[in-house]
Amino acid sequence: MTRTASNPADKTAALVLFSGGQDSATCLAWALSRFDRVETVGFDYGQRHHVEMDARQAVRAAMAEQFPDWANKLGEDRVVDLSGYGDLAESALTREAEIGFRDDGLPTTFVPARNLVFLTVASALAMRRGLSVLIGGMCQTDYSGYPDCREDTLNAQAQALSLGLGRPMRIETPLMHLTKGETWALAHNLGGEALVALIRDHTHTCYLGDRGALHEWGYGCGRCPACELRKNGWRDWRAGAAA
């Protein structure tokens, strides 16, 4: 099996699938606390909002500025244009469609095979850059109904990539079994209040691309499913931390 928990003493290099959202920013901090060299990759697949793409640079810059140990480890960033794939896999994220549920029960924000495509493209980049670990913020706890976020799917893909590349390719998903509240707690463990504030202020999660007002849990419309998850997770974590 190629998908194993990483050893903190692991002196290797990793590639983080980094969207600029809360989850992948937490994964980036997690990676920087464990690996000697960490590179990032983002995908432009015609999202309705480029706010997340702007957030990526703000998060990277703030982490490098506020955490000097991490600055030395933070390597190259690349954004891959997957707009052709976005055209094929239309969803409420890539066109002006209502956010809700489809007839088959999946959310309209589901982009078919998104994580499978991202991980495959990332593995090609990783191989070229000499990296053998892919890290992503997929999570099945606050299950949004995305079948490509499930641990079974990712275990199978790690195996397929390793076989198809002819060399081991590990997929690490540190958030897989965490609630959104526990994801905030993980950020606090990794970088204290400074990292929590950085993630709150610079990451972007809102499906509507709303950055009009800063709430206690960050920017967003406060009503879309992504904002609801983020807001409730923040409140759960704060309530638990205060208890």
Query: How many chain residues bind Zn ion (CB under 5 A)?
Result: 6
Given 19, 206, 217, 230, the residue binding Zn ion (CB under 5 A)? 206
Q: Which of 20, 227, 233, 237 binds Zn ion (CB under 5 A)?
A: 227
Beta bridge partners of 37: 13
CA–CA separation, 95 and 97 (whole Å): 6
- Between CA 170 and CA 20, with CA 124 as vertex, the angle to 5 degrees is 75
Helix ranges restricted to H, the chain: 22-32, 51-66, 68-71, 83-88, 114-129, 151-165, 180-202, 225-242
Residue 209 beta carbon to Zn ion: minimum distance, rounded to whole angstroms? 8
| By CB under 5 A, residue 63 contacts Zn ion | no
Among the listed residues 21, 174, 181, 220, the single contact to Zn ion using CB under 5 A:
220
**Would you count residue 224 as binding Zn ion (CB under 5 A)?**
yes
Q: Is 222 exposed, middle or buried (0-12, 13-18, 19+ CB in 10 A)?
A: middle
* Binding window for Zn ion (CB under 5 A); candidates: 7-15, 40-48, 131-139, 220-228: 220-228
What CA–CA distance (Å, rounded) separates 199 from 204? 9
CB of 206 vs Zn ion, minimal distance in Å: 3
CB of 179 to Zn ion, least distance (A): 19
CB contact set of 239 (below 8 Å; sequence gap of 6+): none
Answer whether 45's CB lies under 8 Å from 211's CB: no
Contact stretch for Zn ion (CB under 5 A) within 37-45, 62-70, 115-123, 198-206 = 198-206
- Compute the least distance from the CB of residue 226 to Zn ion, in Å: 6
- Residue 218 or 220: the one with the smaller Cβ distance to Zn ion is 220
Which chain residues interact with Zn ion by CB under 5 A? 206, 208, 220-221, 224, 227
